[in-house]
Amino acid sequence: MEEHKHDHDKETEMIAIMSRSGMRITDQRRTLARIFSDTDAFLSPKDVYDLMRDKYPGVSFDTVYRNLRMLSEMGALEQFYFMEGGLKFKGSCISHHHHHLICLNCEKTLSFEYCPMDQQLKLPGSFKIVSHRFEVYGICDECQQTGEG
């Protein structure tokens, strides 16, 4: 299975999220959606900027970064922070609710369906939860076997 298959559903959903949030759907924003629907990898703001510059040589890093943050706040992208690699973005998993195990070495992501929020949480006060994310960082089986973690 090739890594760069284009996921039209993900691209369409990202554009729909932008539209619902009142964002103007420009060519550049369509390209951003396409970049994330073409890969399952984590992309740093610089990765995205380099990909955008191929098509839009005049685009500024600030514009790309601002759009990544806005798309993240809208729920179209997920943000992850890697100790070595810094902030990275990935297209949101929109089909269903799940959480991630993330390898710090190769950045492979494994989903797991179990949600820790289903347990009775003892939260302070009457805190109202609107949404949540849960990531577990570690070293995947393959990296452990090759001794790279």
With a threshold of 0.75, does the pTM exceed it?
A: no
Number of domains in the chain: 2
Classify residue 118 by its DSSP letter. Answer: G
Sign of CA dihedral 80, 43, 66, 5: negative
Are 13 and 84 part of one and the same domain? Answer: yes
pLDDT 10s digits, 56-88: 999 999 999 999 999 988 888 888 887 777 888
- Residue 106 annotated as binding? yes
More confident residue, 80 or 7: 80
Determine whether the annotation assigns residue 140 to a binding site: yes
Token reading at 139? 């070293």
pLDDT band with cut points at 50, 70 and 90 for residue 52: very high
Whether 115 has a binding-site annotation, put simply, is no
Which residue's structure tokens are 């103007």?
24
Specify if 49 maps to a domain: yes
Distance CA 131, CA 115 (A): 12
Residue 42 has a pLDDT of 87
CA torsion through residues 108, 36, 97, 66, sign: positive
Tokens standing for residue 56? 């839009």
Do 103 and 77 lie in one domain? The reply is no
**pLDDT given for residue 64 in this prediction:** 96
Name the strand (E) or helix (H) holding 88.
strand 86-91
User: Same domain for 30 and 50?
Assistant: yes
Does 98 belong to an annotated binding site? no
Domain residues for the domain of 31 are 8-91
Which two three-digit tokens encode residue 142?
């393959």
